[in-house]
Amino acid sequence: MDHITLPSPVTSGTVSIEEALSKRRSIREFDGRQLSTEQLSQILWAAHGITDAEGRRTAPSAGATDPLQVLVATPDGMFRYDAAAHQLEILSQENLLAEIGEALGDDRVRRAGAVVAIAADERPTTARYDERGKRYVMFEVGHVAQNLLLQVAALGLGGYPIGAFDDSAVATRFSLTAEQEPMYVISVGHPA
């Protein structure tokens, strides 16, 4: 598969966590501009990136079972985020934002710079923690989404999470495997 290597993430920014928290709002209208590669790199790393040589991530994972996959659609195509290599695996080079908007029932995503999907395969976590593992997966999804939204705010961008959607349609649009379930979708862009 073809990959796009992302620029290294910035680990010391100019916006404090307190400022990012105070700026975080759901922004649903975008101006249609694309995100820069640096912005996309930073957002994906903040959401689910690797932070040390042992493979620890920006978001906690119960027992380091790492049940999540982060995918992103931009006007340039559909990609799977490979956190270990900090790369994008190219799934498609088509602009699928309109089709994703249909699957989400939200036409506004056509003007987004990126639409990020968080998908989960619960099996590694439930194998370790039985039924309680499902709860841990949900916690992890929330951690990843909040990290992403705080980074978006710190970059001066806008974003909004979408939880009500047709699971099957979203799974198809984001090329998920049968074991992966779409959990959350976050639309990101330059505020209109």
Task: Give the residue from 186, 16, 172, 2 showing the smallest Cα distance to 96.
Answer: 172
pLDDT digits (tens, 9 = 90+) for 116-162: 999 999 999 999 999 999 999 999 999 999 999 999 999 999 999 99
Tell me the pLDDT tens digit for each residue of 4-55: 999 999 999 999 999 999 999 999 999 999 999 999 999 999 999 999 999 9
CB-neighbour burial class of residue 57 (10 A; exposed 0-12, middle 13-18, buried 19+): buried
Closest CA to 118 of 75, 159, 76, 156: 159
Confidence at 1, pLDDT banded by 50, 70, 90? low
Sequence-distant (≥ 6) Cβ neighbours of residue 148 within 8 angstroms: 43, 46, 47, 116, 159, 186, 188
Write the CATH number for 29. Answer: 3.40.109.10
Which structural domain, as residue segments, surrounds residue 56? Answer: 3-189
Question: What's the pLDDT tens digit per position in 82-95?
Answer: 999 999 999 999 99
If you compute the radius of gyration of the chain from its CA atoms, what whole number of angstroms results?
16
Q: What is the per-residue pLDDT for 146? A: 98
Bridge partner residues of 70 (DSSP) = 118
141 close to 184: Cβ distance less than 8 angstroms = yes
pTM of the model: 0.95
Q: Are 26 and 160 in contact (CB under 8 A)?
A: yes
Q: For the chain, how many structural domains are there in total?
A: 1
